[in-house]
Chains A and B, each alone.
Chain A
Amino acid sequence: MELVCPAGSFPALKAAVDNGADTVYFGFRDATNARHFKGLNFDRSRAEKGISYARSRGTKVYCAINTYPQPSGWQAWQDAVDMAADMQVDALIAADMGVLGYAAERHPQLKLHLSVQGCATNYEALRYYQEQFGIQRAVLPRVLSLAQVEHVASQSPVELEVFAFGSLCIMAEGRCYLSSYLTDESPNTCGACSPAKAVRWEETPQGLESRLNGVLIDRYQEGENAGYPTLCKGRFEVDGNIYHTMEEPTSLSTIDLIPELQRIGIQAVKIEGRQRSPAYVAKVTQIWREALDQAKQNPDNYLPRQQWRSELTNLSEGSTTTIGAYHRAWQ
């Protein structure tokens, strides 16, 4: 399976390439991609430098233009597609049908991947994207159980990529407006979930508080790990009970599932985290490279090393990992 790693910056790209990524993915420095954070991502000259570095070491480069343009912003998305095509990226990762349609018409040589933000969870939807836009691959949302992934894979008209490690979105991607309900930005419109401009941390007599646009998302007692105030991981009150109503802060890790994913015909595994540091990207890429190599050489006796698990756990949000929706009981 192909190891697809995040490049939120040139140093992170380098870290991924140097530690064994088969492919790196990046976005431009604006709202055209789903990790639109201050100080992250690439302008044209950095992107060219990154592509050249990756290519010289045999690593492929994908470009994510995976948010949803509105009429006022359309030109910026169109320009981004033209720029990616001009730089001859190995594939464009897109979600919006308008962007996919434009890319397919204007740049027929450009390979298209359906982004996770396109939210295709079944083979009928995949057929539509394949027939209409000629997509060659789709990234599956993190909402399916392993059995469901297997079923989609058995009927899919295109290659499939799944999430392997990183932050866990529990909502069907591309269809979650929790962020824009409380702030004015969402992953779809601006590539931002709980945008940093709306986040406030405050030490109070009740504990450390995280707020999003003034709304209390969580309150931490001494010694508790404080997480980024993503709405689906907040602690809220229901009928007098205060708990993580949707999900605890935790990361997805599927290192145990590699042989299964391989067996059911998944072509690529994706590491989430363009917002993460180069050191993080280096470590996670290195571990996954080792794991994938071991599973390839010896699929029947693959055994994840305890050291990989503990290192990945230490790198994770809330210092815990889960296989999430892949395991039906988690749902």
Chain B
Amino acid sequence: MKIALGPVLYFWPKRDLLNFYAEMADQPVDIVYIGETVCSKRREMRFIDWIELADALTNCGKEVVLSTLALLEAESELKTLRRLCENDRFRIEANDIAAVQMLSKAGLPFVTGPAVNIYNIRVLQQLHKSGMRRWVMPVELGASTLEQLLKQAAETDLDIETEVFSWGRLPLAYAARCFTARYRNLPKDNCSFCCIEYPQGIQTRSQEGTELFTMNGIQTLSGDIYNLENEIPDMQNLGVDILRLSPERQGMEQIIQRFHQRIEGVTESTDANRIPLLDQNCNGYWYAQPGIDRVM
């Protein structure tokens, strides 16, 4: 079982982003997804900067995948996507069917990210035919659906890797509107790139103080951290190949170490070793319950 670091979903200054990846280079992660998946106006990193970063991480022994935008609305965005898909060195994570179309035309193998709707075996087969070799399960699905899907995949000899979003704020929605700009009373077209001031997004609570969502530009993330640390043995049994950890600004090393130790069996997976989930953690989706729920 491998560990993947998902793409950074927030907008961080270039120097902070590069420092973060310099720290991650020494960590026991096997796969690193890099790239902008949320907003095309975030341009701290140019195309060449991403490629240089990809080279640097590759030299540190990481498998690097270039992640792409989830909501494509403008020709300029398609152009950027095309350029990424035409690179012949790094594999692409498609987060929209536009990328699937471009990559299948080019005959290149690809990964689909959590924003691509794969809910049944026919979709897995269809996308496999188009060149998908790894998929990230949509975040609202759980163990029972995954189990049936992987059983069907095995029966039909479908050769794919399965990745599960296992730690971090869940990407829940993409909108026409930028909620960060709205919070700042700025129009989206003149947003002053204000997302850069919120390296962990903007916390949104109910009027009674329940943590609900995290606004991240046009993206809505969960307010709580999804944490499947206790479910690693279940995932091993099901045949999940890769666990995705989604970057947060603070404390990633510790999270990676904990997941790494669990996978390596350094921490025995017994009931007694289930970590008590923090108040800010959730895992409901895995158990086919509301995502925000905490199943102990």
Give the B-binding residues of A (Cβ under 8 A).
68-72, 74, 95-99, 101-102, 119-122, 124-125, 127-129, 131-132, 142-145, 148, 151, 170-172, 174-178, 180-184, 186, 188-189, 213, 215-217, 219, 232, 234-239, 242, 245-247, 324-325, 328-331
Known: A176-B174, A186-B140. 8 other contacts (CB 8 A): A69-B119, A97-B123, A97-B127, A124-B97, A144-B73, A181-B222, A245-B182, A329-B189
Q: 1/0 contact trace for B196-214 toward A, CB 8 Å?
A: 0000001111111110110
Instruction: Say whether A96 contacts B173, CB under 8 Å.
Output: no
Q: Roughly how many angstroms separate A213 CA and B289 CA in the complex, as a whole number? A: 12
Known contacts A120-B97, A183-B290; is A142 also within 8 Å of B207 by CB?
no
Instruction: Say whether B126 contacts A101, CB under 8 Å.
Output: yes
Chain A positions within 8 Å of B93 at CB level: none
Chain A positions within 8 Å of B170 at CB level: 177, 181
B179 contacts partner chain A, Cβ-Cβ < 8 Å: yes
Chain A positions within 8 Å of B204 at CB level: 236-238, 245
Instruction: Say whether B120 contacts A74, CB under 8 Å.
Output: yes
Report the nearest B residue to A77, measured CB to CB: B120
From 66 to 84 in chain B, residues with beta carbon under 8 angstroms from any chain A beta carbon are 70-75, 77-78, 81
Instruction: Say whether B290 contacts A98, CB under 8 Å.
Output: no
Q: Roughly how many angstroms separate A247 CA and B178 CA in the complex, as a whole number? A: 11
Q: Roughly how many angstroms separate A219 CA and B206 CA in the complex, as a whole number? A: 10
Cross-interface CB contact of B207 among A72, A171, A219, A325, cutoff 8 Å: A219
Instruction: Say whether B176 contacts A236, CB under 8 Å.
Output: no
Q: Roughly how many angstroms separate A124 CA and B105 CA in the complex, as a whole number? A: 11
Q: Roughly how many angstroms separate A149 CA and B174 CA in the complex, as a whole number? A: 18
Chain A positions within 8 Å of B75 at CB level: 151
Chain A positions within 8 Å of B71 at CB level: 121, 143, 172, 175
Sample 25 A-B pairs with CB under 8 A, ordered by A number: A72-B148, A97-B123, A98-B121, A101-B126, A102-B122, A120-B97, A122-B96, A124-B97, A124-B99, A128-B98, A142-B176, A144-B73, A170-B176, A172-B175, A176-B174, A178-B213, A181-B222, A181-B290, A181-B291, A182-B292, A186-B140, A188-B119, A236-B204, A238-B205, A331-B189
Chain B positions within 8 Å of A151 at CB level: 74-75
Report the nearest A residue to B144, measured CB to CB: A72
Report the nearest A residue to B120, measured CB to CB: A98
Chain A positions within 8 Å of B202 at CB level: 238-239
Binding site secondary structure of chain B: mixed
Q: Roughly how many angstroms separate A193 CA and B248 CA in the complex, as a whole number? A: 29
Give the A-binding residues of B (Cβ under 8 A).
70-75, 77-78, 81, 96-102, 104, 115, 117, 119-123, 126-127, 130, 138-141, 144-145, 148-149, 152, 170, 172-179, 182-183, 187-189, 202-210, 212-213, 215, 220, 222, 285, 288-292
Q: Roughly how many angstroms separate A217 CA and B173 CA in the complex, as a whole number? A: 18
Chain B positions within 8 Å of A102 at CB level: 122
Known contacts A237-B205, A245-B215; is A170 also within 8 Å of B122 by CB?
no
Instruction: Say whether A181 contacts B97, CB under 8 Å.
Output: no
Chain A positions within 8 Å of B138 at CB level: 177, 188
Chain B positions within 8 Å of A131 at CB level: 101
Instruction: Say whether A172 contacts B120, CB under 8 Å.
Output: no
Known contacts A101-B126, A120-B97, A245-B204; is A237 also within 8 Å of B140 by CB?
no
Instruction: Say whether A98 contacts B126, CB under 8 Å.
Output: yes
Report the nearest A residue to B205, measured CB to CB: A237
Chain B positions within 8 Å of A132 at CB level: 126, 130
Known contacts A121-B72, A238-B202; is A177 also within 8 Å of B291 by CB?
yes
Instruction: Say whether B177 contacts A242, CB under 8 Å.
Output: no
Instruction: Say whether A121 contacts B73, CB under 8 Å.
Output: yes
Known contacts A216-B210, A245-B182; is A331 also within 8 Å of B177 by CB?
yes
Report the nearest A residue to B282, measured CB to CB: A181
Report the nearest B residue to A170, measured CB to CB: B175
Instruction: Say whether B117 contacts A175, CB under 8 Å.
Output: yes
Known contacts A171-B174, A172-B174, A181-B290; is A237 also within 8 Å of B72 by CB?
no
Known contacts A180-B290, A181-B292; is A329 also within 8 Å of B187 by CB?
yes
